[in-house]
Structure 1
Amino acid sequence: MTQTKGQISQIGALLVGSAALLFAGGINALILPLRGSIEGFSELSLGLLGTGWAVGYVGGCLIVPGLVGRVGHIRGFSAMAGLAAISILASLLLIHAPAWIVLRAVAGFCFAGAAMIVESWLNERTAPHLRGRVFGIYTMVNLAATTAGQMLLTLGDPAGYAFFVLAAMFYAMALLPTAITRQSAPQPMVAAKLDLPTLWRNSPLAVAAVLLVGVSNSAFGTLGAVYGNRIGLETSTIAIFMSIAVVAGAALQVPVGWLSDRIDRRKVLLALTFVAAVADAIFVFLAPTQPMVVLVVASIFGAAVYAMYPVIVAHANDHAPENYFLLTSGGLLLLFGIGSIIGPLAAGVVMGAMGPSGLFLTSLVAHVALILFGLWRMRRRSAVPADQKGAFKASPLVATSTPQTLVLNPKGDITEPPSETGPAPENPAEGASENPDEGPVEKV
């Protein structure tokens, strides 16, 4: 306990910085679709906000590690946080859908880069034997900060300017811990690599599932607030509607993980998908508008969809060769990002054609496709024996996960598959620049 308290005291400033970043992100993610609805933006334009964010976020995961290797962690983080603050303030000045889509992509890029740098510092300062506890604390801090950012919108009018300014302030606040640190810069950052043929050979179900879950979850994350606005929910209820889904998903990860470690993970995944599809069908065919009913169904939906991703990752790693945790998980993270590019765009088109229920019709199609593909794969491949399974690992919000998050994860200490020419060097920073704030990028 004393060791844990000492470790937390050392990284407390970084946790505060991460909380500020996620708090600003929570405001940013909710204020734009709400304000866009008030300004009369079309469903397609609002969906493209989510597509822009996902494009920027994936780009940040791929590009920022190399950028930081050239300019250093501190300057890189300052640039990311500053640009994120500028993007949200520019959104207040340029209230036009095309401008918002571009600015949202800039915010996604900067958010990914800033999160990766914070996580890199956390990983550097965390003792290996305490990594699991620190990862859990980090995950809960981020969940609480994101939820708090969304719930802040219950206190004011989204038609004003205050929430844009507050988001910019918290983006700027996030850079303070790294700006005033006296610690040396962390080891080189980790960039994800998408090796689709290898991922498909290891687990076709994981590839298809993470893509479809990316479609569903990103569509809801982007356009859920628009759905609530279109069916007449008040702003305070919309904030709860979006937050309760995420909190329910986080709460269900522990029992889902326990169950998936004991039975075929595919059955657990398909059961979650079936529950999500039932919630989708309720929203599509019964179209509830009573706030309490909407919130109950949203909590069921969120509990299912936000617990799927860690089951998919665990299933993929059950089939992957030893030492491929980061390669597999990093590839799946990028596939989820690709699904996140598709989802808001598809849902925006369907909502424009058939109204608010088009959001959950898009999700329903993705979930039914996943169920059918999963049932087919279960006929083609037997389950992994329980004694050959890896341990289930809870996951933070996927929309805020980066390749560096995978390293902070207590299972992420395996960084590279063994090469044919010999074992990987024991020092992960071997070959790094003499400048402690620069270095090569490690590939996942």
Structure 2
Amino acid sequence: MTLSHERGLESPFQLRHYLTLITVVIIAGMNQGLLLPLLTLLLDKTGVSTGVNGLNAAALYIGTFATMFWIEKPVRRFGYKPVIVGGILIVLVALILFPSFPNFWVWLVLRFMVGVGDSGLHYATQLWIVSRSPADKRGRYISLYGMAYGAGFSLGPLGINLLPYGMWAPFLATMLCTVVSLMFVSRLPNALPETVKREPGAQAVTTYPAVFRLAWYALLTSFLYGYMESSMNSNFPAYGLRIGMSDAWISLLLPVIGIGSLILQLPLGVWSDRWGRKPILMAAGLIGGAAFAAVPFASQGNLLLVLILFGLAGGLVGSFFTLGLAYAADVVPKAVLPRTNVIASVLFSIGSITGPNIGGFSMQYFSVHSMFYWLGGAYVLFALLGLWFRPKVS
């Protein structure tokens, strides 16, 4: 299999171009990190139930999931830059319309739009970085990309503190940041992705079901990460309000999960290289799940302990997506890694859609604390499934 280079790929990937994309990713993370809890809070204060609120939040991830089926074609036809610009513009329009039309059904559509815009932006930036980075620095560049998104996502909820200045205030702040990212991207040169040409006699690519059978345990991490991220950012604000937390505490606690992930991401990766990825994933799932399950007991009066539990749980399971991809790469042939990543992205989207709905309806019909029982139980179950998984290492 050979690679033919399209126009725009001959020049080396310049540092300033990379830093521009990193800046865009940080701002995109801030937008998503703010919108999920902010919209949940605003809808909750209008009397929307937690279950219906979760359905509204899931619209963003439905938009992300739907985009995956067609986004490759415009990137190949028009290049990376137009798709990134298009994604930013879609998000910017939605940000303007959110405070202009505070209506449940309008916000449902706007959240879907944000999911489409974010998905296109991330697909194009990830592919651009992977295709243009030097092979000996590609892993470092992608790791920094993930950390940049995590940092932005963790900072986003702090914008909730602008609500005392009016509903427009947090939206206006994130609008200005989005305009700045659009200005940065406008200065980038465009480029097209590489085109893969199959040599005569090349073997057929392994099917998706076969790839999943090889690495189902490693790929489950993507589902769990999406479930945790969306559930915490969509359901936790409503949970906090119901147990008497202030908006300030809610906006403080949410970033702690992302901060914990940033702190432990590199150590977990090093330990997985040294002691094996499955033992590290099992230990992280077991301890992280126990930390989530302990939150209802701590939240009765010790918010500092909740903060510690969030940092511990987020630090341990916040790297599940990247560690899971690394583990999948250990157990599948290199030729099917692209399909492995597609499956991981699909499972992430399914988890992201599932999380707010299970958490919201279980809080409404069972117990206000049930979202943490589900989270804790899911990660503990994952750890136990590791005892059964016996990979055929490629």
Shorter-chain TM-score bucket reads 0.7 to 0.9
Cα offset for 1:352?
0.8
**Correspondence 1:243 to 2:249:** no
Partner of 2:354: 342
**SS of 1:157 mapped into structure 2:** helix
Distance 1:349 1:147, change over 3 A: same
Alignment match, 1:116: 123
Q: 1:145 to 1:327 in 2, by over 3 A?
A: same
Question: Structure 1 80/198 Cα, relative in aligned 2: closer, same or farther at 3 Å?
Answer: same
Gap change, CA 1:200 and 1:132, over 3 Å in 2: closer
Q: Aligned partners of 1:189 and 1:283: how far apart in 2?
A: 49
CA RMSD of aligned residues (A): 2.9
Whichever residue aligns with residue 186 of structure 1, its letter is L
Counterpart AA for 1:146 = F
The offset of 1:244, in angstroms, is 0.7
- 1:197 aligns to what? 209
Q: Which amino acid is 2:182 matched to?
A: L
Question: Match of 1:150?
Answer: 157
In the alignment, what sits opposite 2:368? 356
The aligned counterpart of 2:5 is none
Check conservation: 2:229, 2:352, Cα contact below 8 A. yes
8 A contact 1:53–1:104 mirrored in 2: yes
Structure 2: 5+ residue runs without aligned partners? 1-12, 197-204
Counterparts of residues 152-171 of structure 1 (less than 5 Å): 152-157=159-164, 160-171=167-178
Q: What are the Cα deviations for residues 382-430 of structure 1, in whole angstroms up to 9, with x where unaligned?
A: 785xxx8xxxxxxxxxxxxxxxxxxxxxxxxxxxxxxxxxxxxxxxxxx
Q: Is the 8 A contact 1:199 1:207 kept in 2?
A: no
Superposed CA offset, 1:225-281 (max 9, x none) = 222222222222212211111110221122222222233432222211111221222
User: Are 2:46 and 1:34 aligned?
Assistant: no
The Cα of 1:70 is off from its aligned counterpart by: 4.3
Task: Determine which of 187, 190, 193 is the counterpart of 1:187.
Answer: 193
Shift of 1:124: 5.4
Is residue 60–residue 109 contact of structure 1 (8 Å, CA) maintained in 2?
yes
Change (3 A) 1:203 1:50: same
Work out the percentage of aligned pairs sharing the same amino acid.
23
1:39-78 pair list within 5 angstroms:
39-78=46-85
Quickly say closer, same or farther: Cα 1:160–1:198, change in 2 above 3 A: same
CA 1:278 to 1:91, structure 2 compared with 1: closer, same or farther past 3 Å?
Answer: same
CA–CA distance in 1 between the matches of 2:367 and 2:249? 20
2:270 aligned residue (238, 255, 258)? 258
Change (3 A) 1:59 1:81: same
Of 290, 309, 314, which residue of structure 2 is paired with 1:297?
309
Runs of 4+ off more than 6 Å:
none
1:110, CA displacement in angstroms? 0.6
CA distance in 1, matches of 2:109, 2:272: 40
Retained in 2: the 8 A contact 1:23–1:149? yes
Q: 1:73 to 1:321 in 2, by over 3 A?
A: closer
1:383–1:270 distance in 2 versus 1, CA, 3 Å: farther
Say if 1:207 and 1:332, in contact at 8 Å, map to a contact too: yes
User: Cα offset for 1:74?
Assistant: 4.1
Alignment-mate amino acid for residue 334 of structure 1: V
* 8 Å contact kept, 1:288–1:294: no
Partner of 2:232: 220
- Under a length normalisation based on structure 1, what TM-score does the superposition of the two structures give? 0.75
Paired residue secondary structure (2:275): coil
| Preserved CA contact (<8 Å) 1:29 1:222 | yes
Change (3 A) 1:89 1:34: same
Distance 1:210-1:118 versus aligned 2 partners, 3 A rule: closer
The residue aligned with 2:201 is none
Q: Confirm whether residue 310 of structure 1 aligns to residue 322 of structure 2.
A: yes
Task: Tell me the equivalent position of 2:7.
Answer: none
Shift of 1:111: 0.7
Note if contact 2:258-2:314 (Cα within 8 Å) is conserved in structure 1: yes
Q: Per residue, is there more helix in 1 or in 2? A: 2
**Distance in 2, Cα, partners of 1:187 & 1:171:** 25
Structure 1 pair 127–205 and aligned structure 2 pair: CA distance change class (3 A) = closer
Query: Residues of 1 paired with 2:360 and 2:71: CA distance?
Result: 29
Quote the Cα distance in structure 1 between the aligned partners of 2:144 and 2:218: 27
| Shift, 1:31, TM fit | 1.6
